[in-house]
């Protein structure tokens, strides 16, 4: 199921923007790393290429492919960064184009244990990106390797 693109949808129109970098490009989905939330440096999105709103709009095989990809990204984040917790979410309230947030959370991060959409709890010093135990470009490369293995 590929489906149409919608020119007014920012996820259809842009493969990469200053807000995120393209990590992996596939026929059915892509993986990007979010750049505009520096307090959560290990914040990835898995974006379905076709403009559908809900998981239940997908065929079962496509749904499984998407969740397998989310799971692969989760696995790389866990092994690379040893986060306190992984957070997964698919909202689409603002942009009703199916995408998953996959976020490595740490007990020292600005919002933990609140969701990243909740209330800040603290200001980490040093900054979040300087606390990660692996460079994000290396995490990106491991995601690509895992998705193309």
20 burial level (CB within 10 Å; 0-12, 13-18, 19+): buried
78 torsion bin: left (phi>0), alpha (psi -120 to 50), beta (else): alpha
The reply to whether 38 sits near a second copy by the rule CB under 8 A is no
| Contact call for residue 78 and a second copy (CB under 8 A) | yes
User: Using CA of residue 7, residue 10, residue 12, residue 13, what is the dihedral sign?
Assistant: positive
Closer to a second copy by Cβ: residue 34 or 70: 70
Report d(CA 89, CA 102) in Å as an integer: 7
Single residue of 81, 105, 132, 142 touching a second copy by CB under 8 A: 105
d(CA 63, CA 82): 27
Q: Which of 90, 134, 141, 146 binds a second copy (CB under 8 A)?
A: 90
Q: Which of 16, 22, 37, 67 binds a second copy (CB under 8 A)?
A: 67
**Candidate segments 16-24, 31-39, 92-100, 135-143, binder of a second copy by CB under 8 A:** 92-100
User: Which residues lie near a second copy (CB under 8 A)?
Assistant: 53-56, 63-64, 67, 70-71, 74-75, 78, 84-94, 96, 105, 112-115, 117-118
């Amino acid at each position: 199921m590929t489906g149409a693109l919608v020119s007014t949808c920012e996820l259809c129109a842009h493969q990469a923007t200053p807000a995120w970098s393209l990590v992996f490009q596939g026929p059915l989905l892509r993986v990007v790393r979010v750049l505009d939330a520096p307090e959560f440096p290990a914040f990835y999105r898995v974006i379905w290429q076709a403009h559908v709103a809900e998981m239940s709009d997908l065929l079962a095989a496509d749904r499984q492919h998407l969740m397998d990809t989310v799971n692969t990204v989760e696995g790389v984040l866990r092994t690379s960064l040893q986060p306190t917790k992984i957070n997964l979410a698919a909202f689409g309230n603002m942009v009703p184009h199916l995408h998953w947030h996959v976020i490595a959370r740490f007990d020292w991060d600005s919002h933990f244990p609140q969701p990243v959409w909740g209330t800040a709890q603290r200001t980490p010093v040093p900054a979040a990106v300087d606390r990660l135990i692996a460079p994000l470009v290396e995490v990106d490369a491991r995601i690509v390797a895992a998705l193309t293995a």
